[in-house]
Chain A
Amino acid sequence: MAEQSRVATITTPNKELADKLFEIWERPHTLYGWLASVDHKDIGRRYLVTAFAFLVLGGLEALALRIQLALPNSGVLPPEAYNQTFSMHGVSMIFLYAQPIVSGFANFLWPLVLGSRDMAFPRMNALSYWIFLFSGIFIYVSFIIGQAPNDGWFNYVPYANKEFNPGLNMDFMSLGIIFLGISTTIGSINFVVTWMRHRAPGMSINRLPIIVWGTLTASVANIFVIPCVSLAFFLLWLDRNFGTSFYNVAADGQPLLWQHLFWIFGHPWVYVLVLPPIGLTADALPVLCRRPLVGYTPVALATVSTMAIGFGVWVHHMFATGLPGLSLSFFSGASILIAIPSAVTVFALIATIFSGKPIINTPFLFFAAFIILFVIGGVSGFMTGSVPVDWQLTDTYFVVAHLHYVLIGMNVFPIVGALYFWLPKITGRMLSERLGMWNFWLMFIGINVAFLPMHLTGLWGMPRRIYTYGPDMGWTTLNLITTVGAFIFAVGVLLLLVNVAYSLKAGAKAGPNPWKAGTLEWATPSPPPPYNFVVIPTVASRHPLWESHLGDSKHRSYVYRGYELSDHHENVGTTTVDAIPDIILKMPGDTILPLLLAIALAVTFVGMLFHIWWMVAAAGFGLLATLTAWLWPRAHLGERTEPGTAGASS
């Protein structure tokens, strides 16, 4: 039972306390225990594995597309199959891999880098994973039954309307993305509240690792833009299924409304996909350069301002739609302006390498390559930010080359680097450097062979989204080179999988801090125990483990002395700006409710897809029952009066 208030005991780590905490926080090693786990480390690992599975699926789809495009007039993929495959490739990579993988890292790392025992809402955390998994399956079922989304990842109307697209394809897409959006929204609110409340005492906002800035900024953006895409798809679903007229020009609807709603979401989403990986890089790269990050404050501010400007650039996806010139000028200006904060980050990272003593290992190479690819993708983005250039290049392969440099260069490369860097913390074992080098060079050569010539393919006029081309167009050689590059890249990814499998089986033991890094996650054993920290650390600088190393005599963090907090699941809540303790939070333990809720939601969406309304109603009651059980106030969480004390005695 929760008392009203208490003075929290301060202690040093000891065996009895560790055993007691283990007893409290460890989940049972049964199937039920696995399904009911709300541990952020379990959820983070699941996110990583699931998102990676979608990366592999999306990659296989890409290879199928590249086989089709390798030679002119090829018949490997007929037009409709090609449409579904390229749409699923985009949907898999952008929705089911790139954001969830970032959630995976953030879920695993946040409580550890923040010195917390778990996220702010552990049960919602589990819910967001289950919804992500089920929505991914929901979308992929369409592919299996041959009715996958076939209108690209941007789903433009009128082609997405029922009239032109009568199958279930776009209904799967509409409902699947709305379903996934619930997961993203819940996860984002969880990150924001965790940032506000679950930081070790003393971790004021000028001491946050950059990964926290990156994920936090992305999460705030998600809270505001996910409703936009969910609404866009909901209106599309209504138009397709109930004859409404939102996008129907014959009844005063507007096809361009779709593009506005989609890109108001879509462009901030690009930053959602790249800011957290930039944060991972900005935290890990300095460790490998044996020095703190150059320009911490400018990088943190650049992260936030990139997103702030990123809300005002969506029309650059619509330069060719006939909008007024004034509007184009404004959005073109904003699109070019965004190069400034991006450049701040790039120069800070370069300065960190040049003023440090870099260790040239696999993660270092991935992070360094990220900088190069960031610049290439950034420059081609800067070019298409200019309206006349965009009118020339829009809907050509130049844009495809640009977006792949951005998304592979700024998401996949830092993510793989982060995997080499943090997987030892997650599994307790190192990855092989030898395989890692092969892995890196194949991926780095692969992306450049595939996508550097593709700029030229675009300049020579090859349009996007066409399923084949004639031999007389002069695009054959370039396309063949791109296909070769794609396969080289794929072999690199395969080696990564081999490396991970090898590491799990026979990798060298990592120990708590293999890179001699300075942030709190490295103060825990690898893999960390279920309670993370025996005592809650106290933070006095950006690098709690480096203070003596940096000759920092002014600040003294305490990792081995702090709050005990061992009365069931407990954590300290701290103020948002200064991280001063102001509450002892009672955390919920493991529960199956998140899984049940996600199942009820999945049934709801299946019912909506096939118009089985009794199923939707039944699932609705399931939702209501689960939520009632979930939200019922509990005395041990301090949400209601103690039973038997007759709380309200008026």
Chain B
Amino acid sequence: MSDATQKGDRVALPVGAYETRANGWYGLWGLIATEGALFVFLLFSYYYLLFHAREPWPPMEMPKFNLSGPGSAILWSSSGVIWVAERLVKKSRRVLASLLTALTLVMGIVFLGIQVEEWAAKPFDFGGSAYASLFFTITGFHMAHVLVGVVILLAMLVWTVMGYFNENRNTVYSIGAAYWHFVDIVWVFVFATFYVSPYVLR
């Protein structure tokens, strides 16, 4: 008999969704890979059109940080909040974990609200220019992902409150939290592209 099974024969194996050995954890990485690729191609389209542009880019005005700055700060710090919440879930600290999950959820919603303001404050509309189309499409794609993340956070909040997770069963929570980190990391690249790169590439 091969070594592989001999090792497996003697030890007790975890049963069900166990930490990073659960299929769902691997599935999440597949999702992140394909969603990450989507944003790579979105940003590829941005830079492709930027380098072929003949009109001023961005049109009308340079991007402002009055809304996007606080919005970004809130979104990125929410990653830290859920990181702590996940640690608490794994220690079966249900009440505190629920509160911090709820806080992450609220931070996500505030970010979305700020983004809606940001959209309304733009002096151009969807079809005005390639830049405008890219701005609304790419930030829109990201907002859609944040919205999905908010729904996931809501579900995780409900499940945490219901006592579904403890020190042994918490993979579902970790998967949801990892998705939220992904959404926040994507925003780094989107933010850098729309708000920082115009000042650098000018």
Could you list which residues of chain A lie within 8 angstroms of chain B, going by C-beta atoms?
Answer: 2-8, 10, 120-121, 124, 185, 188-189, 192-193, 196-197, 201-202, 204, 223-228, 230-231, 235, 238, 242-246, 248, 251-254, 257, 260-261, 264, 538-540, 555-558, 562, 572-574, 578-586, 624, 628, 631, 633, 637-641, 646-650
Contact = CB atoms under 8 A, between A and B. Distances in A.
B34 A224 contact: yes
B54 interface: yes
B166 A238 contact: no
A189 B16 contact: no
26 contacts: A4-B15, A6-B15, A8-B8, A188-B30, A196-B26, A201-B4, A202-B4, A202-B5, A223-B33, A228-B37, A231-B38, A238-B133, A242-B126, A245-B129, A245-B132, A246-B134, A254-B49, A260-B48, A261-B44, A558-B5, A638-B15, A638-B18, A639-B171, A640-B169, A647-B166, A648-B89
A257 B48 contact: yes
Contacts of B131: 252
Given A185-B34, A578-B4, A639 B137 contact: no
A624 B152 CA distance: 11
Nearest to B26: A193
Given A257-B49, A260-B48, A646 B163 contact: yes
A318 to B, nearest CB: 13
A556 B1 contact: yes
A246 B151 CA distance: 31
B7 interface: yes
A189 B171 contact: no
A204 B41 CA distance: 34
B95 to A, nearest CB: 6
A264 B4 contact: no
B8 A631 contact: no
Contact of A650 (B93, B132, B159, B168): B93
Interface residues of B, number: 70
A257 B155 CA distance: 39
Interface in B103-146: 126-134, 137
Contacts of A8: 8, 13
A202 B6 CA distance: 10
Nearest to B160: A648
Nearest to A582: B21
A628 B175 CA distance: 15
Contacts of A121: 23, 27
Contact of A641 (B10, B49, B91, B163): B163
B164 interface: yes
Contacts of A624: 151
A67 to B, nearest CB: 40
A6 B10 CA distance: 10
Contacts of B181: none
Contacts of B55: 252
Given A238-B137, A579-B4, A586-B15, A647 B126 contact: no
Nearest to A265: B41
B53 interface: yes
A21 B95 CA distance: 42
Contacts of B13: 5-8, 572, 581-584
A3 B13 CA distance: 11
Given A197-B23, A197-B26, A538-B4, A252 B41 contact: no
Contacts of A242: 126-127
Report whether over half of chain B's contact residues are helix, strand or loop; otherwise say mixed.
Answer: helix
Contacts of A639: 16-17, 24, 169, 171-172
B155 A584 contact: no
A189 B4 CA distance: 26
B197 interface: no
Given A3-B15, A201-B8, A227 B37 contact: yes
Which 9 A/B pairs are nearest by Cβ-Cβ distance?
A638-B16, A189-B30, A648-B94, A581-B8, A243-B127, A227-B38, A244-B133, A640-B164, A647-B166
Contact of B14 (A5, A257, A539, A637): A5
Contacts of A196: 26
B48 A254 contact: yes
B23 A193 contact: yes
Contacts of A7: 9-13
A5 B93 contact: no
Interface of B: 1-2, 4-5, 7-18, 21-24, 26-27, 30-31, 33-35, 37-38, 41-42, 44-45, 48-49, 52-55, 57, 89, 91-97, 126-134, 137, 151, 155, 159-160, 163-166, 168-169, 171-172
Contacts of A124: 27
B151 to A, nearest CB: 7
Residue among B16, B21, B127 facing the most chain A CB atoms (10 A cut-off)? B16
Nearest to B34: A223
Contact of B7 (A10, A243, A580): A580
Contacts of B31: 189
Contact of B165 (A5, A228, A557, A641): A641
Contacts of A10: 9
A536 to B, nearest CB: 9
A231 B45 contact: yes
A193 B133 contact: no
B41 A228 contact: yes
Nearest to A562: B5
Contact of B27 (A6, A120, A557, A582): A120
B14 A538 contact: no
B6 to A, nearest CB: 10
Contact of A254 (B1, B52, B89, B151): B52
B53 A647 contact: no
B126 A243 contact: yes
Contacts of A555: 2
Contact of A189 (B7, B34, B52, B155): B34
Residue among B2, B24, B168 facing the most chain A CB atoms (10 A cut-off)? B2
B16 A637 contact: yes
A630 to B, nearest CB: 11
Nearest to B4: A202
Contacts of B151: 624
Given A648-B166, A650-B95, 5 more contacts: A7-B9, A7-B13, A244-B127, A244-B137, A639-B169
A369 to B, nearest CB: 36
A47 B35 CA distance: 25
B16 A586 contact: yes
Contacts of A243: 126-127
Given A201-B8, A583-B13, A583-B18, A226 B133 contact: no
Contacts of B23: 120-121, 193, 197, 573, 585
A580 B129 contact: no
Given A224-B33, A244-B127, A261-B41, A558 B14 contact: no
Contact of B17 (A3, A226, A257, A638): A638
B32 to A, nearest CB: 10
Residue among B7, B15, B159 facing the most chain A CB atoms (10 A cut-off)? B15
Nearest to B151: A624
B92 A261 contact: no
A649 B97 CA distance: 12
Nearest to A222: B34
